[in-house]
Every structure is written in C-alpha cells, then in structure tokens.
C-alpha cells in the first residue's frame, strides 16, 4: 500500500466514524427542536453557539487546524439550525452555511442578546427617525457597542454615509470577528448591510427592522446597497444577515403613513404569490400586524431560498418597483418608497385585477394616481437594473396570486403606463 493509499484509508475510516457521530448529533438536535417547540424558545441561541465554538476550538490547543475546525463547527451549527427550523416550521432562511433565523417576537428587542452573538465589538446603526430607546436597548446587550445615528430619509443612503460608517469601523479597530447591527427601517438596513459586506471583504451583520416595510421585505434576503447617480440601489452587494429580529411592538411608534407603506410591500407579495393573504389584507386592521408580518416573511423566505441572487423567481418581488423606483426618484422625497410601489403596481395589472387592487390600496390609504407623465418616467426606467437590451422586463399580474414576466419596448411600456393610470 502506497503512502497515498494509506492516507486515503485513514480518511475513509475517519469519515465512517464521523457519519456515526453525525447521526448521534442530529438525534440530539431533534430532541432540542422538540423541547424548543414545547417551551416556545427561538431556534437560534447565539450565545450558546459562540461558546460551543470557542470551547471546542480551545480544546485543539496550538493545532494548525483551528481555523478549519472553526469553519466546520460553524457549518455544523447552520445545519442544525436549519433542521430544527424545518421541524419546528419556523421562519428559517435555509441557505446552507449562510442560513439564518427570522425571529418574530413581540418584545423581542429586549432579548436581542439571546438571538444574536453580540458579546463583541458592535457597530449599531440607526437614524433620527427611530426612537433612541430602541438602539439603546440593543446596545445594552453588546460587549463593546458603538452607536451611530444618521439623518432620517432616503437621501442618507449615499456614498458619503457609507464612507462615514467605514471610517468608524477603521477608527475603532473592528476586525473580521466583530459585527454591524442595523436598528431601523430599510435605509438603515441597506446602508449598514453594505458597510458590513464591504469592510474587510465582509463581517457579520444583524438586522433589527423597526418599520413594517423593512420587517416584511427588505430585512430578509441579503440585498444591501446605496443610491448612486440619482438612481436607487445602483451600487450594492448580496450579503445575508446572520439573523433578523422583528419585534412587532416597534410598530406602536410608527405613524399611519409609514404603516401604509409597509402594507404596499405586503400587497405586492400577496398579489403575486398568495391570493389568501390578499383576501386577508382586504379585511385586516393594524391590530393584525404580527400575522401579516409572519405570512409576508414566509413568502419572502421561500422566494429567497429558491433564488438567492435574483436570477429568476426573486425578480417577481419587483412587482410595482419598475415604475415605483422611477416615481421615487422624480418625487425627490415627497413620496415614500411604499407609496411609490403602490403607484407602480396598478399599471402592471389586468383590467380584471385593477379595480380590486385599487380598492385595497385605497383602503390602506395608499396613493393610486401617478403624478408624473410616462415620458418623464421612461428615462429613469431605461437605466433601471431590470432592463435587458432594448426591452423593459416587468412583472404583470393577470390574476390575484399569480404573475407573468413580460417584456416591452419603451414605446409599448409607455402605452401600458397610460392605460394603467385610467380609473
């Protein structure tokens, strides 16, 4: 037997022993899942995971394989969480080693330390529109918090803000073992996530959304970025969070207009994927927020797991956004993102769907009339990421709960906009 054959035989023996240990380990994971179900506990116990990894790596002593073992343990933890979540049927985004839990827990803000591994340097990013107590509550769970409060509004999501966050990370000596935490709406999450994605080629990122819009949509899926050149989200990266914590109680400080904006994203998902959710929204009230969030996040999770990087199915979640982003750019802050999405949905529907969609949008006090002519919107749409060659790709709803991906020339798309804005 050659030296190569001997080494391979040794690996085969180790693999057989590991297989038996893996079965034993997963049986224990199954018991833990059942216990968590009975006790109402979340899947992720970040502090426990961090301690297990640390303890086991320390046991190797000065081994040259410590980092490889750490990677193995981290992957094993992700596998265990995924299995537990499937057994519990919780909101786990199963992306293998990049998987993470979306926890929807009233009062969960006060338990951020139980959900996330925060016992290290943490850059907490929030904005002036978020109650200070939210970020302060999370900071109390951090080992070494640095709190940054940015001005509120879409105009903050720019390269200057990104430079500010990266500068603080450098100044405070953040390493690859530290993390960034977003506490706020979609602007904060996109910006903080992009900073985490780019600093040292990527560090851990946690998202704690505090608006309905960010809770049901932008916080899940790993799309981060900034606005550039007068267009939304032109520069960015896919960078999955390590975890998402949604506390419906944060919505108590949200005004009616912001809540309605979140409903626009819910309606978007219902119109394309879930006719039952659409019907639920037709009779629901803000008191049903927790149920709305869970059902919307479940749709978003399922889409992301099937199409993480927007290669196909995930593009359906852009329903209303092809026009909406152009409206938002021209509005210059006078309209909020969800309002622009609402405006953008109506032209992209059949004559049969349009009256029902219009009625639902109006029920939630969302705008339905576009304030700009199609000719004014077209130049921005032509620079959108959803362009392909000389054709505009867009999502069309011909029947509630279903969708089509359509293509149109700029001229045909303009006609569609005119027709869709008719009462």
Catalytic positions, written as ranges: 201, 223, 265, 300, 310, 314, 318, 321, 325, 337
With tokens 């060659």, the residue in question is: 389
- Nearest Cα to 26, choosing from 70, 91, 81, 68? 81
Give the DSSP per-residue string, 317-332.
GGTTHHHHHHHHHHHT
For residues 206 and 219, give the distance between their C-alpha atoms in angstroms, rounded to a whole number: 9
- Cβ atoms of residues 206 and 181 within 8 Å: yes
Tokens of 132: 């200070």
Give the DSSP per-residue string, 302-366.
HHHHH-TTSSSGGGGGGTTHHHHHHHHHHHTTSS-HHHHHHHHHGGGB-TTTHHHHHHHHHHTT-
For residues 247 and 210, give the distance between their C-alpha atoms in angstroms, rounded to a whole number: 7
Residues contacting residue 375 through CB under 8 Å, at least 6 positions apart = 414
- Nearest Cα to 222, choosing from 141, 134, 314, 132? 314
In 160-274, DSSP assigns E strands to 179-184, 204-209, 223-228, 231-238, 243-246
* Dihedral class, residue 18 (left if φ above 0, else alpha if ψ from -120 to 50, else beta): alpha
How many helices (H) and strands (E) are present in the chain, helices listed first? Answer: 16, 12
* Four-CA torsion 315, 365, 208, 149, nearest 10 degrees: 110
Query: What backbone torsions phi and psi does residue 127 show, to the nearest 5 degrees?
Result: -135, 175
Reduced to 3 states (helix: H, G, I; strand: E, B; else coil), residue 26 is helix
Pairing type for strands 391-396 and 404-408 reads antiparallel
For residues 43 and 100, give the distance between their C-alpha atoms in angstroms, rounded to a whole number: 10
- Nearest Cα to 421, choosing from 279, 333, 323? 323
For residues 154 and 329, give the distance between their C-alpha atoms in angstroms, rounded to a whole number: 10
Tokens of 380: 């921005």
């Amino acid at each position: 037997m050659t030296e190569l054959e001997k080494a391979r035989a040794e690996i085969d023996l180790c693999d057989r022993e590991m297989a038996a240990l893996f079965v034993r380990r997963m049986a224990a994971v199954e018991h833990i899942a059942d216990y968590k179900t009975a006790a109402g506990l979340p899947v992720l116990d970040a502090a426990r995971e961090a301690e297990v990894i640390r303890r086991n790596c320390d046991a190797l002593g000065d081994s040259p394989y410590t980092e490889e073992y750490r990677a193995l343990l981290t992957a094993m933890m992700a596998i265990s969480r995924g299995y537990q979540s499937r057994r519990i049927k919780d909101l786990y985004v199963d992306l293998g080693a990049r998987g993470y839990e979306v926890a929807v827990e009233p009062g969960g803000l006060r338990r951020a330390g139980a959900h996330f591994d925060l016992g290290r340097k943490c850059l907490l990013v929030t904005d002036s529109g978020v109650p200070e107590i939210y970020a302060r509550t999370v900071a109390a769970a951090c080992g070494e918090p640095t709190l940054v409060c940015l001005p509120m509004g879409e105009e903050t999501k720019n390269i200057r803000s990104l430079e500010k966050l990266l500068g603080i990370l450098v100044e405070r000596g953040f390493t690859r073992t530290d993390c960034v935490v977003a506490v706020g709406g979609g602007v904060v999450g996109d910006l903080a996530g992009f900073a985490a994605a780019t600093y040292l080629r990527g560090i851990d990122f946690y998202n704690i959304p505090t608006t309905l819009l960010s809770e049901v949509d932008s916080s899940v899926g790993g799309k981060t970025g900034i606005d550039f050149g007068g267009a939304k989200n032109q520069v960015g990266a896919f960078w999955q969070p390590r975890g998402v914590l949604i506390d419906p109680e944060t919505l108590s400080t949200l005004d009616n207009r912001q809540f309605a904006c979140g409903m626009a994203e819910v309606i978007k998902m219902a119109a394309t994927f879930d006719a039952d959710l659409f019907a639920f929204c037709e009779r629901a009230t803000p008191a049903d927020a927790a149920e709305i969030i869970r059902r919307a996040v479940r749709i978003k999770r399922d889409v992301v797991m099937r199409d993480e990087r927007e290669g196909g199915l995930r593009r359906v979640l852009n329903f209303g956004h092809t026009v909406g982003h152009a409206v938002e750019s021209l509005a210059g802050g006078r309209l909020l993102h969800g309002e622009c999405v609402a405006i953008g949905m109506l032209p992209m529907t059949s004559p049969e769907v349009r009256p029902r969609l219009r009625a639902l949008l109006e029920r939630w006090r969302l705008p339905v009339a576009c304030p700009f002519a199609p000719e004014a919107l077209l130049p921005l749409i032509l620079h959108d990421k959803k362009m392909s060659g000389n054709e505009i790709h867009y999502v069309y709803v011909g029947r509630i709960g279903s969708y089509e991906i359509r293509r149109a020339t700029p001229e045909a798309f303009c006609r569609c906009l005119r027709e869709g804005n008719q009462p």
